[in-house]
């Protein structure tokens, strides 16, 4: 019988664009150790990238003195990634991106980050409170 485990890894990343790569690589490494497929690891890398960029740009406003906290929680059958920043509430109820509207210039060409996160992860939750800031929780399950 396999051992039941619950490993938590924490990273504290300065709010500088480019450093999200550290979180992406850490999440990918853990997912690989857990046995996720290459396809799912690629999904995870994109979702972690988008969540970190949101926290760096919109949460912490690229203030290099602030940090983005990344918690990677590995359980027997799932990987949970919590991304925290110290900023004001990031709007998470946004206009659903529509490629046809964007091509017709009725929507800005931007605004794909949350869509990608929601599309690629099994569970997503956004939370905010004035003391701890924004939290994006993303979960992917091992489906054996």
Contact letters for other proteins, residues 116-135 (x by CB under 8 A): x--xx---------------
Long-range residue pairs from 128-131, CB within 8 A, at least 24 positions apart, any chain: 128/89, 128/90
Query: What's the closest the beta carbon of residue 49 comes to other proteins, in angstroms?
Result: 6
Closest CB to other proteins among 17 and 33? Answer: 17
Q: Tell me: does residue 45 bind other proteins (CB under 8 A).
A: yes
Closest CB to other proteins among 43 and 82? Answer: 43
Q: Tell me: does residue 100 bind other proteins (CB under 8 A).
A: yes
The helix-helix angle for 113-120 and 38-54 (nearest 10°) equals 150
Q: Tell me: does residue 22 bind other proteins (CB under 8 A).
A: yes
Rg for the chain (alpha carbons), in Å? 16
Q: Tell me: does residue 42 bind other proteins (CB under 8 A).
A: yes
Determine if residue 35 is left, alpha or beta; phi over 0 gives left, psi from -120 to 50 gives alpha, anything else beta: left
Cα–Cα nearest to 88, from 131, 136, 138? 131
CB contact at 8 A, 132 and 84: yes
Query: What's the closest the beta carbon of residue 110 comes to other proteins, in angstroms?
Result: 4
Q: Tell me: does residue 110 bind other proteins (CB under 8 A).
A: yes
Q: Tell me: does residue 43 bind other proteins (CB under 8 A).
A: yes
Name the 3-class secondary structure at 24.
helix
Q: By the criterion CB under 8 A, which residues form the site for other proteins? A: 17-19, 21-22, 39, 42-43, 45-46, 49-50, 53, 97, 99-100, 102-103, 105, 108-113, 115-116, 119-120
């Amino acid at each position: 019988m396999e051992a039941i485990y619950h490993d938590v890894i924490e990273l504290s990343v300065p709010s500088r664009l480019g450093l999200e790569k550290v979180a992406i690589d850490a999440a990918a490494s853990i997912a690989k150790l857990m046995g996720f497929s290459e396809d799912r690891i690629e999904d995870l890398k994109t979702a972690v990238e988008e969540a970190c960029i949101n926290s760096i740009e919109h949460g912490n406003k690229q203030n290099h003195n602030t940090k983005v906290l990344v918690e990677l929680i590995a359980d027997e059958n799932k990987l949970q990634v919590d991304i925290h920043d110290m900023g004001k509430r990031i709007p998470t109820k946004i206009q659903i991106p529509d490629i046809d509207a964007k091509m017709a210039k009725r929507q800005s060409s931007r605004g794909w980050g949350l869509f990608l996160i929601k599309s690629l992860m099994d569970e997503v939750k956004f939370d905010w409170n004035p003391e701890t800031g924004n939290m994006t929780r993303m979960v992917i399950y091992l489906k054996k």
